[in-house]
Structure 1
Amino acid sequence: MLKQQQECTINVHVYDQWSGMSIQSLFRTQWLAPKKLVHQLRMEKRVSVNDSLAIWTAPLEAGDDIFITFPNELNNTIIPFKTTIQIVYEDEHLLIVNKPAGMATHVNEQNEMDTLANAVAFYLQGQNDNRKIRHIHRLDKETTGAIIFAKHALSHAILDQMLENNEIDRTYLALTDGLMKKSTFTIRAPIGRDRHHPTRRRVSETGQQAVTHCKILKTIPEKQLSFIECKLATGRTHQIRVHMAHIGFPLAGDQLYGGRPIFQRQALHARKLAFVHPFTLKRIDCTAPFLDKPYIFEPFVKR
């Protein structure tokens, strides 16, 4: 029986950029933390500076250490599932995992056990950690690559905002049917549901704004394929798949959107994540290795 998770305490160092700010302004204007969470931390006296309870309006000094203790949030919904996952990056605030093909990102049905969230729960359980599982974004079941999980309520809120504000660079690699000619281009086409199909999306004037920046890395004439890099400015469901099909170059293997069935899945991999860490202010650059065997992309790029 897993021991209950103790309250989580994090330590945030005050850098020169934050010198002179108050705890209150750090939470509200720098981190854009939810008002409800800030109120709870303040009322329950869960924030201290160095060795003293925080005075929320007092200016901070470079070199100070902030300690934040979060309420106990046990994972009572995600069943730990024993499987091996590849950790790309980890610290006390977040976890970046390399998702394999054939695995959904999160649980959609009660008692579901074979998602990445279940695997992350098992990984944390191995560290005697039974915290709530918080994914920041998603990948389609058959898409591989890097996904961010937050480890506490504050990092969850901040990373959500960063994703919404396009402050997390997401780079994908894909193989598309056909030989592209433009070296770089941007697709701006709103995406909405396809009312004729339960899971498919389509370009629609009434859909949500969607922007994909593309770069051709290589063309393979003998296989009629293009090897491309895509960067997302928005994060709509099936965005790259829909946009590439819309311009006449569906992803190879993506039969839902008209791609040739030359692979067992769509040839799409979330290769890189890059962002400035909200607590350490260091730039995080993560590259997710390819997991397929045989490797779909191996002829075109090193693992």
Structure 2
Amino acid sequence: MIDLAQARRDGEWLRIPLPDPRPEGLADGTHPHDVRRRLIADGILPEKWLNRLFSVGGIRLENGVLSLKAFPPHDWTDHPLLAGRGEPARAEVLHEDDWCLVLFKPAGMPVHPAYPGMGGTLDEAAVRHVLQAGDPLPVRHIHRLDADTSGPVLYAKNDLAQLRLDEAMREKRIERRYLAIVHGAPRPRAGTIDAPIGKDRGRSPRRRVQPGGDRAVTHYETVKEAGDLALVRVRLETGRTHQIRVHFSHIGHPLLGDTLYGAPPDPRLSHQALHGESLCFPHPWTGRQIAVQAPRPRWFEAAMRRAGL
């Protein structure tokens, strides 16, 4: 049996030593086509990924070592992400290994560009990070945050990581928790908002709860109440655009500073009081759970102090 825990990165290649005696069909000199078929039959690696590796000569078996070309570099030369003007985007690294990267996205920075060549995005920061590290892998975000929401964003650093993390998102195995300051005191203090969300026609970029919208589920618990504000912890089961903002507005508790969804203006806060505090996901190679915490930004701490939270 192949022990994937023994795998080690060697430049572009992932080296996996085979046990003695060798597994049937994996002797030295076995043609890559037959190695691919054996690996597919074992079901321990995605068939789509193995077929892609085989098509580029990325499967080898020599001297008792299975080699898979898992980390090919990406050509970022002249890429639109690096064509933005002004100061290059940078972001704090919360977690990184050969397979994935978690960056802290500050409020005010979009995850991805709205048009080609747009600078100052988290995607640009991710690309610049791997280039400066001398490891130009094809970083791609797995999920997004609103431009004015702070918190952790997960990136895949190769094709296999993207396949597995995208699958984990679809299967709701990536857990995202948030802190929000809302108007009023939600009742009950803990509960679930299960209400479909769709576009608010003629009022872009607003969304609203409406029949026929996409299913959206938000779990929450009240952490503390002070005056006419409350601090709530939120866990997303789905990931619709503006989901937390729409749901809390729908139940009569818009987020502090969120004038788009009915909150009164706050002269000391120019955007919604929403911060992603943690991200938990299965590692794309080992499968073990990775938990990443994001520190509360100063603007959120200041808003909590003013509210007495």
TM-score, structure 1 normalization: 0.81
- What's 2:40 paired with? 24
1:136-193 deviation per Cα after TM superposition (whole angstroms, max 9, x unaligned):
0000000000000110111011101101110011101101011223221001011110
1:8 partner amino acid: E
- What's 1:150 paired with? 156
User: What is the RMSD computed on CA atoms of the aligned residues?
Assistant: 2.8
Partner SS for 1:237? coil
Shift of 1:67: 3.9
**Aligned pair in 2 of structure 1 residues 87, 283: CA closer, same or farther (>3 Å)?**
same
**Structure 1 unmatched ranges of 5 or more:** 1-5, 55-65
In 2, Cα distance between the equivalents of 1:296 and 1:34? 50
**Aligned pair in 2 of structure 1 residues 248, 154: CA closer, same or farther (>3 Å)?**
same
1:74 aligns with 2:75: yes
- What's 2:146 paired with? 140
Work out whether residues 124 and 130 of structure 1, in 8 Å CA contact, stay in contact via their aligned partners in 2. yes
1:23 partner amino acid: L
- What's 1:242 paired with? 246
**Aligned pair in 2 of structure 1 residues 112, 181: CA closer, same or farther (>3 Å)?**
same
1:228 aligns with 2:240: no
In 2, Cα distance between the equivalents of 1:269 and 1:144? 5
Deviates more, 1:274-283 or 1:139-148: 274-283
Work out whether residues 50 and 67 of structure 1, in 8 Å CA contact, stay in contact via their aligned partners in 2. no
Work out whether residues 177 and 260 of structure 1, in 8 Å CA contact, stay in contact via their aligned partners in 2. no
| Identical amino acids, percent of aligned pairs | 33
**Aligned pair in 2 of structure 1 residues 273, 34: CA closer, same or farther (>3 Å)?**
farther
**Structure 2 unmatched ranges of 5 or more:** 1-9, 25-37
1:290 aligns with 2:296: yes
Partner SS for 2:291? strand
Partner SS for 1:117? helix
1:46 aligns with 2:58: yes
- What's 1:271 paired with? 277
**Aligned pair in 2 of structure 1 residues 12, 298: CA closer, same or farther (>3 Å)?**
farther
1:78 partner amino acid: L
Partner SS for 1:69? coil
1:112-136 deviation per Cα after TM superposition (whole angstroms, max 9, x unaligned):
1111111112222211233333000
Shift of 1:53: 6.6
**Aligned pair in 2 of structure 1 residues 188, 51: CA closer, same or farther (>3 Å)?**
farther
Shift of 1:245: 0.5
2:112 partner amino acid: H
In our comparison, the structure showing a higher alpha carbon Rg is 2
In the alignment, which of 92, 96, 117 is matched to residue 102 of structure 2? 96
Shift of 1:292: 3.3
1:127 aligns with 2:133: yes
Shift of 1:49: 6.2
In 2, Cα distance between the equivalents of 1:34 and 1:69? 14
Shift of 1:40: 2.0
Shift of 1:77: 3.3
Equivalent pairs counted in the alignment come to: 274
